[in-house]
């Protein structure tokens, strides 16, 4: 690896994070801005072309992104919405693969059907990272967001397995329906087994370590271990990482508070770098891919690209609405009590949410990495036909869906009026109830230990516990009344100002050497924890 190449690899994450931060500052969609900036940089003559290595995406970027999403996913929510998630992540991907394959073969007769199915498998999985971030920011009903998250966790496993089967057929292997089904089931089951074994083996060890730094460090490594192990034995690494994350995330409440805080900080930074890099790399592939399709005219390439885009969008709309109405799973899952109160016709509510879910089917870097990993030759040594065209069509659909659908999804959500406004109030009162339950449990335990403690300490702990419950109740009432009052906000701002003054005073003590650095860090950490609590509240 040359110094120039290494500098480019380090420069992309650096500038990607900077651009993402600027986009947030301007209240713009970070993923879309990064894609556009990547395209502009790709066109610039003084910037060297960067050919994206599929192994870099599938083995370096994908495992940690999947793991973090799985850790943050609610297992009870997955159980509640399993039918809708199964439809979107398995059935919809396979339907899109078949429809896109047959349609593109009819449109481009010289493209073999097996290669057309490779294209269909590449375009099958939506990349829901941008859609989920937009949905959460604009306040879609939680169940809708949960379903989109669940789809994003499992659809890559379906698509990559279908992709491998399609590539094997295009390379010259004889693949029957039963053979394809057997490979699909074996890949999924094997990935689940490896992820579950690693998770159950590591779970008791991490709770006995009680070493937050080591636990967080190992959590960064485990997704790669599971993914590479699964892929080495030819099963689904995606399923392995997802199961690992779901299991460990569901049981992380047993970890120490320091481990949870450190994990959150470490993974927030890590995922910020990875997500920003992913979207920038998509834009950077424009010129390298265009360079390989110069034997087709621009008009024909654009026509094929628009056709592929239309097929993918139509397949998602048709599939979501068909499965939604025939199975009644999506329609039922998207009916939340809050939405029912806001609309008189339940069917209209479901249709609006189904439309949003249909329009949220943006494609992303996994599709592009799969296309770039298509082998150059068949098993007989002959060039694999239309490989470059498949890669161009994939990039065209990825860019078009990210830019067009990504830009229009926020106004669409607002236009349809499907925000879950009432959920914030319900969450506030649920928070109040949970704090009350926790306070009661704490006071009961305090009564058991009271005889062994000095009276002042007992009184202080009792007052602190009761104060937390009262504070949660005041917060819930403020949210129900339309938000915290101006007086409450003024008090909060005053406390932040006090914390700034306290930090400055402690810093002065350190600079004048009245306290050492160790004492300074301990005091600063306590002040940071208090401000973190204010921010979290």
- Answer with the residue of higher pLDDT: 466 or 491: 466
Structure tokens at 95: 């339907």
Using alpha carbons only, give the angle 212, 216, 218 rounded to the nearest 5 degrees. Answer: 120
Asked which of 15-29, 245-259, 465-479 is least confident by mean pLDDT, the reply is 465-479
Distance CA 94, CA 446 (A): 57
The per-residue pLDDT for 344 is 43
Of all residues in the chain, the percent with pLDDT exceeding 90 is 24
Of all residues in the chain, the percent with pLDDT exceeding 70 is 84
- Answer with the residue of higher pLDDT: 522 or 195: 195
- Answer with the residue of higher pLDDT: 206 or 484: 206
Q: Which residues 6+ apart lie within 8 Å of 43 measured at CB?
A: 286, 287
Distance CA 519, CA 404 (A): 53
Distance CA 347, CA 343 (A): 9
The per-residue pLDDT for 537 is 54
Residue written as token pair 């508070």: 257
CB 282 within 8 A of CB 38: yes
Would you say residue 97 has pLDDT above 80?
Answer: yes
Would you say residue 288 has pLDDT above 80?
Answer: yes
Neighbours of 198 (CB within 10 A): 22
pLDDT class of 451 with cuts at 50, 70, 90: confident
Distance CA 487, CA 490 (A): 5
Would you say residue 283 has pLDDT above 90?
Answer: no
- Answer with the residue of higher pLDDT: 439 or 360: 360
The per-residue pLDDT for 329 is 47
The per-residue pLDDT for 339 is 45
* pLDDT tens digits along 5-50: 666 677 888 999 999 899 888 888 788 889 889 888 888 877 777 7
Would you say residue 394 has pLDDT above 50?
Answer: yes
Asked which of 160-174, 212-226, 325-339 is least confident by mean pLDDT, the reply is 325-339
Would you say residue 270 has pLDDT above 50?
Answer: yes
The per-residue pLDDT for 122 is 94
Average pLDDT for 124-143: 71
Q: Please give the distance of CA 58 from its chain centroid, rounded to a whole number.
A: 15
Average pLDDT for 467-491: 65
Distance CA 128, CA 22 (A): 22
């Amino acid at each position: 690896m040359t110094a120039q190449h290494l500098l480019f690899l380090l420069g992309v994450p650096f500038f990607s994070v900077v651009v993402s931060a600027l986009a947030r500052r301007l209240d713009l969609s970070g993923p879309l801005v990064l894609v556009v900036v990547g395209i502009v940089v790709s066109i610039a003559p003084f910037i060297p072309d960067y050919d994206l290595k599929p192994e870099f995406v599938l083995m370096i970027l994908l495992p940690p992104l999947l793991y973090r999403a799985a850790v943050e996913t609610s297992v009870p929510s997955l159980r509640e919405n399993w039918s809708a998630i199964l439809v979107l992540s398995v059935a919809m991907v396979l339907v899109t693969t078949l429809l896109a394959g047959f349609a593109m073969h009819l449109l481009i007769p010289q493209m073999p059907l097996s290669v057309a199915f490779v294209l269909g498998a590449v375009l099958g999985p939506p990349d829901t990272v941008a859609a989920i971030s937009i949905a959460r920011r604009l306040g879609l009903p939680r169940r809708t967001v949960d379903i989109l998250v669940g789809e994003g966790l499992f659809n890559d496993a379906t698509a990559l397995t279908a992709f491998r089967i399609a590539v094997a057929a295009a390379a010259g292997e004889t693949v029957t329906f039963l053979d394809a089904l057997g490979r699909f089931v074996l890949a999924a089951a094997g990935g689940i087994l490896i992820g579950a074994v690693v998770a159950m083996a590591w779970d008791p060890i991490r709770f006995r370590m009680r070493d937050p730094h080591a636990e967080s460090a190992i959590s960064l490594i485990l997704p790669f271990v599971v993914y590479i192990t699964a892929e080495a034995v030819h099963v689904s690494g995606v399923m392995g990482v997802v199961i690992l994350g779901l299991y460990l995330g569901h049981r992380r409440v047993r970890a120490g508070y320091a481990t949870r805080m450190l994990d959150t900080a470490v993974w927030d930074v890590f995922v910020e770098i990875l997500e920003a890099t992913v979207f920038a790399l998509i834009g950077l592939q424009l010129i390298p891919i265009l360079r390989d399709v110069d034997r087709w005219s621009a008009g024909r390439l654009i026509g094929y690209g628009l056709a592929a885009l239309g097929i993918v969008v139509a397949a998602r709309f048709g599939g979501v609405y068909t499965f939604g109405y025939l199975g009644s799973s999506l329609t039922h899952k998207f009916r939340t009590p809050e939405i029912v109160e806001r609309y008189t016709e339940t069917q209209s509510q479901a249709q609006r949410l189904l439309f949003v879910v249909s329009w949220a089917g943006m494609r992303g870097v996994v599709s592009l990495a799969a296309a770039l990993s298509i082998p150059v030759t068949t098993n007989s040594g002959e060039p694999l036909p239309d490989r470059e065209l498949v890669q161009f069509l994939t990039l065209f659909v990825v860019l078009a869906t990210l830019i067009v659908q990504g830009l229009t999804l926020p106004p669409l959500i607002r236009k349809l009026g499907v925000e879950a406004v009432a959920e914030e109030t319900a969450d506030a009162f649920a928070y109040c109830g949970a704090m009350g339950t926790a306070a009661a449990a704490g006071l009961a335990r305090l009564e058991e230990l009271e005889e062994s403690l000095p009276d002042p300490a007992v009184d202080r702990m009792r007052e602190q516990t009761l104060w937390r419950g009262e504070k949660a109740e005041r917060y819930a009432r403020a949210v129900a009344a339309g938000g915290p009052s101006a007086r409450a906000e003024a008090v909060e701002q005053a406390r932040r100002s006090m914390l700034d003054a306290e930090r400055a005073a402690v810093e002065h003590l350190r600079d004048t050497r009245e306290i050492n650095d160790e004492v300074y860090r301990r005091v600063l950490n306590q002040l940071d924890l208090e401000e973190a609590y204010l921010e979290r509240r």
